[in-house]
Structure 1
Amino acid sequence: MIEAAQRLQTVEEYYFSKKLREVRLLQANGKPIINLGIGSPDLQPPQKVISTLCESLKDESANQYQSYQGLPELREAMVSFYKEQFQVFLSPATEVLPLMGSKEGIMHISMAFLNPGDQVLIPNPGYPTYASVTKLLGAELVLYDLTEEQNWMPDLELLEKQDLSKVKIMWVNYPNMPTGAKATEGFFIRLVAFAKKHQILIVNDNPYSFILNDAPRSLLSIPGAKDVCLEMNSLSKTFNMSGWRVGMVLGKSDYINHIIKVKSNMDSGMFYGIQKGAIEALKCSKLWFVSLNNVYEERRKLVWELADSLNCTYDKGAAGLFVWAKTPAFLKSEEFVDLLLKEHDIFIAPGTIFGSQGEGYVRFSLCASTEVIEEAISRIK
């Protein structure tokens, strides 16, 4: 028997990978499961994106290997998008790198900058991949707590009381997943100053800016941010293209070049047709965002009603694709989720999969039709 690498002992199978097997088994046995646990958009991408993909298949180069750095016109579209939406000015030649989704970016960035023994500041609660990738690379996790009392923002003054000499990377994620908290410009200014003082690379994971958020913001818009910051973004949520696997990392050319060294040794270029479709998506007018958010706003009101019927509390000012809600005081997160699945055939995500600070919270996804959410409400009532 060939033994697995020791690094695998530091991580477990992704929660949703395991839990969805259970959900599928229940469905196979005839259970009418309503899945409000996953943030996979059920809506269609813009029609012109699909049409462009189909048309691109006729191009002579459609089936050839593509550049590791993406088509020049894709990089142009990405920086134009950042200029129009965030007033951030970047070079398409040197300051943006297309990714096959943000999860790939987390690995590539970590491999480009971390040595075994380096420390990484990771939010609690936060996206589990930040921690798992850090462990796989032999770096050390340093969790920083996010709390409702602090509006789910890191306490930078408290962090500065720690020994930060070994910290190489700090992951932040605003608008935040899972909580939906929105960062202020003032917080981003303090964050950049913190990074410069302690020579820490801040990486902002920013895929939720345009979902139910009236003030999209980029960390790179802060003066001096490019010296110490990178930002990732994705087309998955903004344009309903999660299965297409299109993301990007943006920042200083020196940092991007380090990431290219990793990426070019680990995969090939993105499929040509997907790149052509992504270019069209990034050209969408503001009408796209308005129509998309009208759908999500209607769904969110229904999820609020569902949460109310379950005696959960939540913040109506939060952004993003989810509703982060506090469970009734007498129930822990996973107990609440299992009870809901057992008694009502409704699956939601427990807050604890995002860290210990998620205990006492659950996450509802907006990636289901109004009819499905109304059915969930009727089951509870």
Structure 2
Amino acid sequence: MIEVANRLHTVEEYYFSKKLREVNLLKASGKPIINLGIGSPDLQPPQKVISAITESFADARANQYQSYQGLPELREAMASFYRDQFDVYLSPTTEVLPLMGSKEGIMHISMAFLNEGDEVLIPNPGYPTYTSVTKLIGAEPVFYDLKEETNWQPDIEALEKLDLSRVKIMWVNYPHMPTGANATEVTFTKLVAFAKRNNILIVNDNPYSFVLNDSPKSILSTPEARDCCLELNSLSKTFNMAGWRVGMVLGKTDYINSILKVKSNMDSGMFYGIQKGAIEALKCSKIWYVSLNSVYERRRKLIWQLAKALNCTYSTNTTGMFVWAKLPIYVKAEEFIDLLLKENHVFIAPGNIFGSNGEGYVRFSLCATTEDLEEALARIK
């Protein structure tokens, strides 16, 4: 038997990869499972996106290898999107790099900047991939606390008291997943100053900006952020294109060139048709966002009712496609969701999978029809 690489001993299979096998087995056995656990958009992309990819099949270039940097018109569309939505001006030639989803970018950025033994600041709670990729690279995660009493904002003063000599990257994620908290301009300003003082690269993972959010923000709009910050974004949530795998990393030319060195050795360019569809998505008018959020607004109200029926508490001042809710008493989150799955055939995510500060919380996804949400509510009541 060939031994696996040592790096595999540092990580486990992704929680949802394991748990969804269990959920699917229950479905296969005839159980009427309602899945409110994952943020996989069930709505359709804009029609003009579908048309663009369909029409692209007739183009002679569609079946050819594509540039690692993407079509020039795609980079231009991404730069225009940031200019129009965030008032951030970027060079489409040197400061924008399309990705096959922003998750790919987490690995590429880590490989570009981390050596074995380097340390990485990771939010607790936060996206589990930050931790697993850090470990796979051979770097060491250092978790920083986000807590409800401070609206899930980082405590910069507490961070300054740490030994930061080996810290190379800090992951931030606003709007925050799983809690839905937004960063304030003060938070971003403090983060940029902190990064400059300590020679740390901050990466803001920003795929939820346009879901139930009236004031989208980019860390790149903060003065002096270009010196020490990158931003990841994605079309997955904003345009219901999760399975199409379209993301981007944006920032200083030197940083982008370093990431491109990794990307160009690990994968190929994005399929031509998907790039053409992405270009059309990025040109969507305000009507698209209003329409999308009207659906999520209705769904969120039902999720709030569901949370109340489970005696959970939650904030109404959050954004994104999840509702983060506190359990009624201190009970293990996984025990709670397993009981709900067994007795009511409703699956939600336990908060502890996002870090120790997520224990005692659960996360509901808005990616389900109103009919399913009404059915889940009826089962709980």
Distance in structure 1 (CA, Å) of the matches to 2:236 and 2:49: 13
Equivalent position of 1:188 in the other structure: 188
| 8 Å CA contact retained: 2:330, 2:360 | no
Q: Secondary structure at the match of 2:305?
A: helix
Deviation of residue 331 (structure 1)?
Answer: 2.0
Equivalent position of 1:371 in the other structure: 371
Equivalent position of 2:281 in the other structure: 281
Equivalent position of 2:43 in the other structure: 43
Q: Which amino acid aligns with 1:10?
A: T
1:65-144 equivalences in 2 (<5 Å): 65-144=65-144
Q: Which amino acid aligns with 1:336?
A: F
Q: Secondary structure at the match of 1:264?
A: helix
Equivalent position of 1:34 in the other structure: 34
Distance in structure 1 (CA, Å) of the matches to 2:331 and 2:353: 16
Distance in structure 2 (CA, Å) of the matches to 1:77 and 1:99: 14
Distance in structure 2 (CA, Å) of the matches to 1:10 and 1:166: 20
Equivalent position of 1:253 in the other structure: 253
Q: Which amino acid aligns with 1:348?
A: I
Equivalent position of 1:197 in the other structure: 197
Distance in structure 1 (CA, Å) of the matches to 2:47 and 2:256: 32
Q: Deviations over 1:200-232 (max 9, x none)?
A: 000000000000011100000011101000000
What TM-score, normalized by structure 2, do the two folds share?
Answer: 1.00
Equivalent position of 1:265 in the other structure: 265
Q: Which amino acid aligns with 1:293?
A: N
Distance in structure 1 (CA, Å) of the matches to 2:380 and 2:338: 14
Q: Which amino acid aligns with 2:45?
A: P
Q: Deviations over 1:20-70 (max 9, x none)?
A: 000000000000000000100000000000000000110010000000000
Q: Secondary structure at the match of 1:260?
A: helix
| 8 Å CA contact retained: 2:86, 2:216 | yes
Distance in structure 1 (CA, Å) of the matches to 2:356 and 2:322: 19
Q: Deviations over 1:249-282 (max 9, x none)?
A: 0000000000000000000000000000000000
Root mean square deviation, CA, Å: 0.4
Q: Secondary structure at the match of 1:319?
A: coil
Distance in structure 1 (CA, Å) of the matches to 2:114 and 2:100: 21
Residue 241 of structure 1 pairs with residue 263 of structure 2:
no
1:276-355 equivalences in 2 (<5 Å): 276-355=276-355
Deviation of residue 330 (structure 1)?
Answer: 4.0
Distance in structure 2 (CA, Å) of the matches to 1:330 and 1:182: 26
Q: Secondary structure at the match of 2:236?
A: coil
Q: Which amino acid aligns with 1:14?
A: Y
Deviation of residue 71 (structure 1)?
Answer: 0.1
Distance in structure 1 (CA, Å) of the matches to 2:253 and 2:156: 27
Equivalent position of 1:148 in the other structure: 148
Distance in structure 2 (CA, Å) of the matches to 1:355 and 1:102: 21
Q: Which amino acid aligns with 2:253?
A: S
Q: Which amino acid aligns with 1:97?
A: L
Show structure 1 runs of 5+ residues with no match. Answer: none
Distance in structure 2 (CA, Å) of the matches to 1:325 and 1:176: 14
Distance in structure 2 (CA, Å) of the matches to 1:312 and 1:332: 14
Q: Deviations over 1:224-243 (max 9, x none)?
A: 10100000000000000000
Distance in structure 1 (CA, Å) of the matches to 2:246 and 2:136: 24
Percent identity at matched positions? 78
Deviation of residue 318 (structure 1)?
Answer: 0.5
Distance in structure 2 (CA, Å) of the matches to 1:199 and 1:345: 49
Q: Which amino acid aligns with 1:231?
A: E
Q: Secondary structure at the match of 1:69?
A: coil
Q: Secondary structure at the match of 2:171?
A: strand
The runs of 4+ residues in structure 1 deviating greater than 4 Å are none
Aligned residue pair count:
381
Distance in structure 1 (CA, Å) of the matches to 2:28 and 2:369: 22
Distance in structure 1 (CA, Å) of the matches to 2:170 and 2:198: 11
Q: Secondary structure at the match of 2:279?
A: helix
Distance in structure 2 (CA, Å) of the matches to 1:33 and 1:204: 35
Equivalent position of 2:169 in the other structure: 169
Q: Which amino acid aligns with 2:192?
A: V
Q: Deviations over 1:170-195 (max 9, x none)?
A: 00000000000000111101110000
Distance in structure 1 (CA, Å) of the matches to 2:174 and 2:326: 20
Distance in structure 1 (CA, Å) of the matches to 2:299 and 2:93: 40
Distance in structure 1 (CA, Å) of the matches to 2:254 and 2:14: 32
Distance in structure 2 (CA, Å) of the matches to 1:18 and 1:142: 25
